[in-house]
Chain A
Amino acid sequence: SQQGEEDPQALSIQEGENATMNCSYKTSINNLQWYRQNSGRGLVHLILIRSNEREKHSGRLRVTLDTSKKSSSLLITASRAADTASYFCATPLTGGGNKLTFGTGTQLKVEL
């Protein structure tokens, strides 16, 4: 299976704290993406980082990519209750055509 793995599976923090999620993948990639999914809803694209980039920021999000270790991390700073969701990394599926394979996901719960 080409599916990546995410760590931790579940994370519970207090509002205002930072949340870090990690993703490991198996094959060489040219980009990695992070998506968010609220319970029972579709996915929302958060950020894309290309293989020649090591770090990328978007608002309170910071993504890193280490292609030598085949891993990526997503950091959410100053978390809010509204950040409660599942977060998935996604990498291109071998065979092309813009197909994606998703990691196992991290369920984040931010408590007031």
Chain B
Amino acid sequence: GAVVSQHPSRVICKSGTSVKIECRSLDFQATTMFWYRQFPKQSLMLMATSNEGSKATYEQGVEKDKFLINHASLTLSTLTVTSAHPEDSSFYICSAGSGGSLRETQYFGPGTRLLVL
């Protein structure tokens, strides 16, 4: 159980375009999902917390107008990178809390590699 999927797994786009990444919890409901970005050989950095039915909360230094988050249902959160630039190229990973007795743990999607040309 507790499977999280992401789509697409890899995307290449031109500078200035917008890219949408989907994060789905396949076999459980997630009122909260998290979005991270990871540069090569570095750790994960939390970007924002996606809350179902309400606005996302962003970490310091993350532009909310640049990284639009929508959590329209209990199983889907989307991250849209608007007007992408080469410096936005990164590995984007989502996660969802599992709830239950191990509510502190998170289940991660497989990640989306974004390359902006």
Contact = CB atoms under 8 A, between A and B. Distances in A.
Contacts, number: 57
A69 interface: no
Interface of B: 4, 6, 32, 34, 41-44, 46, 49, 57, 91, 93, 95, 97, 102-111, 113
Given A43-B44, A99-B34, A100-B46, A48 B110 contact: no
A98 B109 contact: no
A50 B57 CA distance: 27
Nearest to A89: B43
Contacts of A45: 105-107
Interface of A: 3, 31, 33, 35, 40-45, 48, 88, 92-93, 97-105, 107
B-side interface mostly: strand
A97 B42 CA distance: 24
B90 to A, nearest CB: 12
A99 B56 CA distance: 13
A-side interface mostly: strand
Contact of B102 (A40, A48, A104): A48
Nearest to A104: B43
Contacts of A35: 108
Nearest to A91: B104
A27 to B, nearest CB: 15
Contacts of A3: 43
